[in-house]
Amino acid sequence: MGKLRQVGAASAPAAAPTGRLGRAVRRGWVILPAGLALAVPLFLSAYGVHVGIVALYYAVLGISWNLVAGYTGQFSLAHHAFAGLGAYASAGAVLALGFPVWAGILAGTLAAALSGYLLGSLTLRMRGIYLAITTWAFAESFRILLSVNYQVTRGDMGLTVPLLLGTLDPLPNYYVFVGLTAGTLLLAAAVLGSKVGLRIRAIRDDEEAAAVRGIDVVRWKKFIFTLSAAVAGLAGAVYGHYIGLLAPSQVRFTEMAFIIIAVVLGGFRSFWGPVVGAVVAEGLAEALRLSGEVRMVLFGLFVILLMRAYPAGLVGLLSALGRRLGLRPRP
Amino acid sequence: MGWKRNTDALNAELGRVAPTVDVRSWVFDRQTADLTPLLLQVRDFGPDLVYNLGVGAPAYLIVKQATDVGLLPQTPMVISYDVPIRPEFWQNLGPLGKGIIFVAYYHPKQPLTDAGKWMQQQYEARYREPALYSSFAAFGNVIVVAQAINQACSTKGPDIVKALETGRFKSWNLDSATFPRAEGADWHRVKQPLLLLQYTAVNQPFDQATILFPPEMKTGTLQR
Amino acid sequence: MGQLPQVVAAGLMMGALYALMAVGITFIYSLMKMINWAMGEFYMLGSYAQFVLITLVLGPSLWFLGVPLSMVGVFLLGLAIQKGLLAPMFGPEADRRDEYATIVTIALSVLMQNLATILAGPYQWSPPEYLPLVTAGGISVNGSRLAAAAGALVLLGAFYFLVRRTWLGLAFLGAAQNRVGAEVAGIDVRRLDGLAFGIGVALAAAAGALLAPVFLVYPTNGAVSTVKGFEIIVIGGLGSLTGSVVAAFLLGLVESFGSVFISPAYQDLYGFVFLIAMLFLRPQGIFGERERRV
């Protein structure tokens, strides 16, 4: 079962991500994808650009979830709910209190952060299964509350919200999402490369040992929960204002499943995994014109195969390829 | 009357149009599987009519569970869309499907305009079976656009649009359809006649259901 | 309140069915210490199997034969899945077992739901009612629901017999209490894993088969089973079979009373509130034991 252990080794402190990000930038690895990300949409149809936005949205959700689940070992199943909370809170601020859209997004982010803090605090002593079930229960309850209180939220009829940039044209919105993704990557790199990053990894590897070594487990768990929830809320609010319509179906469990799938496809617990996974999952699926159901069958299959045989995911595959081609030094 | 609804706008509209009607609505999450407690409340309200707004599984569950609590078959029930026309309807509900009223856009026995009758004849001559609703709809679209072109005396897009907005057109089921600029959902829209159909026997094929509404197309009376 | 008998009857009947759903999850957990997030999809498979069997082979009057047949089919599938996907969790160097199990079973659930939609379409089906409407003492009860509850009780009884009175059952209990100890005693724990998984999902499939005319047959009908099942196992105590059964009946009653006396719109929320309350007041559940894992 060395294969299962490989996952732990993939993010050994020896190559801290800022170092990795920094090295990647220095080596120019980032230039090509970044260039593509900036230039390609100019040549795509409006629908193609929209697909890019959706991919980036899930990338941001994936990166933030990876922080709390992959790096801190808290397998939260409420991430999609934080995104939904951010979206609906922003809608509430804008529609009911008359905030401008950017202020609404800020409000949404804060609301999600607060919920992340509360949920993190409540689940402090929970491990593995209990944590998963509790977060799942909160997410499902949230969805039901949104749906049943349709007088306030318009439930499944959909809540129309003002547009982000005043236009439905995907292209300008796309660059907002590029900025959002870049910002999230920088934030993740900063966290992971700092002492906080070491602390959360220690918590994941062995919570008791970390506590014994003087790490304030409580504080850092709460911190990472709050931070990742805030990012999710931000992404959810921005996405909500881009689409212009909110519905409780965005908080269904299938959304969380997709986040997990995207992250695992890319490489759970790797820095670039969520981005690669989200882009591949969304982009490739659209390019191949696979129907929604066929997509999910294939993704489910791939995830199962990956977890079983090659947990390092696509990023791991690319790394190995790079090593073999002599482009990267052997570890 | 007791209704089940999930839009307050509709309640308000009903209050305006039929103020003597007492309306109550019950809302449930669409993934709920057990609607019996809710239906018990509906039954206790003693409605004259129950309007089933479930779509998919809830539509069937409401019919089944309403029968369990004794709401059906005494109280007429309207299903809000054409699920009774689907092939699995009788399979799923069996004898419970008798007496169900539902909303449809087409019935083979409904009166057609002369254009519609022409279409029906041509279709049967060519394909040896009665025309489908979708073929009527497509036919209607084509002849309306053709009439608009004639009225505009031009094939340029903006001219055709103007003709459509101001003219009157004959379709397969309407003698004088208009597509005005109006607010919200009525933008460029003509209201299609909604038919209320009722199944009067178990396993009844759809073309034998009685038409209850609109009054000019009625082929039978409400069966309880 | 004249409604009281009806409310209690409804609650207890649902409780029997919930118990069937939950016992499978608990059984698997007690042995393998993992939660199978795809339980609902095995329920769904059972319901489809039952529908196909009744429609094509058995006919409506032999519905009760469809249940064991569906169970057998899903049992075999469960064995295969356990061997292929989950057995590696218990190798000598298994790391982050919970995560692995969660990710794999969630992926499995996504895969099965969508595969079902592709193969069978998103339509809802229902076999004919198992029994006609039953009226007694002023309460009327859906015949199929009553039949399903009766079937559930029969299966729960059979399961109880298996676990408490047969050698195999004792082996399961022993391995659940102390895996290493059982192995030392000469029990092939890995084979037990496979059997337990197979039996657990077969129970879920039984619930699906029994409830096919009640909750209908369609690709996502397993959601009910998963949701209620998880609520129950936490309320009853993870790993406690008695706890699952008791919690199942409690949940049935709570939902029934809540729906009638508070509001039916929140029906699915009562279970969640109950669950969350349990997690904070008594996280080990009613019958569970506090676990220390290092």
With contact defined as beta carbons under 8 Å apart, do A69 and A200 qualify?
no
**Residue ranges of chain B whose CB lies within 8 Å of a chain A CB:** 6-8, 27-30
The residue extents of the domains of chain B are 8-105+194-217, 114-186
Asked if B26 is an interface residue toward chain C (Cβ–Cβ < 8 A), one would say yes
Confidence tier at A257 by pLDDT (50, 70, 90): very high
pLDDT at A20: 59
Q: What is the CATH number of the domain that holds C12?
A: 1.10.3470
- Given a cut of 60, whether residue B26 has pLDDT beyond it is yes
Asked if C145 is an interface residue toward chain B (Cβ–Cβ < 8 A), one would say yes
Nearest CB to A151 within list B8, B28, B29? B8
Q: How far is A122 from chain C (nearest CA, A)?
A: 8
Please list every residue in chain B whose beta carbon sits closer than 8 Å to the beta carbon of residue A157.
Answer: 6-7
Asked if C6 is an interface residue toward chain B (Cβ–Cβ < 8 A), one would say yes
pLDDT at A8: 40
pLDDT at A24: 62
ipTM of the complex: 0.88
What whole-number distance in Å separates Cα of residue B219 and Cα of residue B211? Answer: 5
Q: At what angle do helices A217-243 and A101-122 cross, to 10 degrees?
A: 150
DSSP C136: E
- Equal fold, B8-105+194-217 vs B114-186: yes
pLDDT at A14: 38
pLDDT at A28: 66
Question: pTM of the predicted model, to two decimals?
Answer: 0.87
Task: Classify B86 in phi/psi space as left (phi over 0), alpha (psi -120 to 50) or beta.
Answer: beta
- The strand pairing partners of B210, in sequence order, are B198
pLDDT at C158: 93
Instruction: For residue A83, give the amino acid letter.
Output: A
- Given a cut of 70, whether residue A146 has pLDDT beyond it is yes
- Given a cut of 50, whether residue A6 has pLDDT beyond it is no
- Given a cut of 80, whether residue A159 has pLDDT beyond it is yes
Looking at per-residue confidence, does B222 or B122 come out higher? B122
What whole-number distance in Å separates Cα of residue C214 and Cα of residue B142? Answer: 45
What percentage of chain B exceeds 90 in pLDDT?
Answer: 18
Domain contains A331: no
**Are C85 and A254 a contacting pair at CB < 8 A?**
no
Domain contains C264: yes
Confidence tier at A16 by pLDDT (50, 70, 90): very low
Q: What is the CATH number of the domain that holds A185?
A: 1.10.3470
Asked if B92 is an interface residue toward chain C (Cβ–Cβ < 8 A), one would say yes
What percentage of chain A exceeds 70 in pLDDT?
Answer: 90
pLDDT at A55: 94
With contact defined as beta carbons under 8 Å apart, do C44 and C70 qualify?
no
Please list every residue in chain A whose beta carbon sits closer than 8 Å to the beta carbon of residue C94.
Answer: 1, 4
Domain contains A206: yes
User: How many angstroms from the chain centroid is the CA of residue A126?
Assistant: 22
Q: Which residue of C has its CA nearest to B29?
A: C265
Domain contains A329: no
Query: How many separate domains does chain C show?
Result: 1
Which domain, by its residues, includes C64?
4-281
pLDDT at A243: 92
Report, as an integer, the average pLDDT of A84-108: 93
- H, E, C per residue of chain B: CCCCCCCHHHHHHHHHHCCCCCCCCCCCCCCCCCCHHHHHHHHHHCCCCEEECCCCHHHHHHHHHHHHHCCCCCCCEEECCCHHHCCHHHHHHHHHHCCCEEEECCCCCCCCCHHHHHHHHHHHHHHCCCCCHHHHHHHHHHHHHHHHHHHHCCCCHHHHHHHHHHCCECCCCCCCECCCCCCHHHCCCCCCCCEEEECCCCCCCHHHCEEEECHHHCCCCCCC
What residues in chain C have per-residue pLDDT under 50?
A: 1, 93, 293-294
With contact defined as beta carbons under 8 Å apart, do B152 and B165 qualify?
no
Q: How far is B87 from chain C (nearest CA, A)?
A: 10
Report, as an integer, the average pLDDT of A187-207: 89
* Residue C88, both tokens: 């590696």
pLDDT tens-place string over residues C206-263: 999 999 999 999 999 998 889 999 999 989 988 888 899 999 999 999 988 888 788 7
**Best to test chain A binding among C25, C26, C83, C111 (most A CBs inside 10 Å):** C111
Reduced to 3 states, what is the DSSP secondary structure of residue C141? strand
Asked if A24 is an interface residue toward chain C (Cβ–Cβ < 8 A), one would say no
CA distances in angstroms from A189 to A119, A156, A268, C146, C257, listed in the order given:
24, 38, 16, 58, 51
CATH of B8-105+194-217, one of 2.60.40.420, 3.40.50.2300, 3.90.1820.10, 1.20.1260.10: 3.40.50.2300
CA atoms within 13 A of residue B34's CA, in its CB half-sphere: 26
Q: How far is C56 from chain B (nearest CA, A)?
A: 13
Q: How far is B219 from chain A (nearest CA, A)?
A: 35
With contact defined as beta carbons under 8 Å apart, do A236 and A85 qualify?
yes
Q: How far is C238 from chain B (nearest CA, A)?
A: 25
Burial class (CB in 10 A: 0-12, 13-18, 19+), C88: middle
Instruction: For residue C107, give the amino acid letter.
Output: A
pLDDT at B56: 86
pLDDT at C140: 78
**A331 preceded by cis ω (within 30°)?**
no
Nearest CB to A4 within list C95, C114, C280? C95
The residue written with tokens 């407690």 in the block is B37
Q: Which residue of A has its CA nearest to B31?
A: A144
How high is the mean pLDDT of chain C?
87
Asked if B69 is an interface residue toward chain C (Cβ–Cβ < 8 A), one would say yes
Instruction: Show which of residues 75-104 on chain C sit within 8 Å of chain A, judged by CB atoms.
Output: 84-85, 88, 91-96, 98-100, 102-104
With contact defined as beta carbons under 8 Å apart, do B48 and C285 qualify?
no
**Are A293 and C283 a contacting pair at CB < 8 A?**
no
How high is the mean pLDDT of chain B?
84
**Are C264 and B28 a contacting pair at CB < 8 A?**
yes
Please list every residue in chain B whose beta carbon sits closer than 8 Å to the beta carbon of residue C120.
Answer: none
Which domain, by its residues, includes A218?
2-324
**Triad A270, A276, A282: Cα angle to 5°:** 140
Please list every residue in chain B whose beta carbon sits closer than 8 Å to the beta carbon of residue A151.
Answer: 8
- Given a cut of 80, whether residue B3 has pLDDT beyond it is no
**Best to test chain A binding among C96, C119, C270, C276 (most A CBs inside 10 Å):** C96
- The strand pairing partners of B59, in sequence order, are none
- Given a cut of 50, whether residue A3 has pLDDT beyond it is no
pLDDT at B8: 59
Domain contains A330: no
pLDDT at A87: 96
pLDDT at A327: 65
With contact defined as beta carbons under 8 Å apart, do C248 and C22 qualify?
yes
Highest mean pLDDT among A291-305, B12-26, C83-97: A291-305
The residue written with tokens 């080596």 in the block is A27
CATH of B114-186, one of 1.10.10.10, 2.170.190.11, 2.60.120.10, 3.40.50.2300: 3.40.50.2300
- The strand pairing partners of B52, in sequence order, are B79
pLDDT tens-place string over residues A163-175: 888 888 888 899 9
What percentage of chain A exceeds 90 in pLDDT?
Answer: 46
- The strand pairing partners of B101, in sequence order, are B78, B198
Q: How far is C1 from chain B (nearest CA, A)?
A: 13
Nearest CB to C260 within list B32, B33, B40? B40
With contact defined as beta carbons under 8 Å apart, do C209 and C46 qualify?
yes
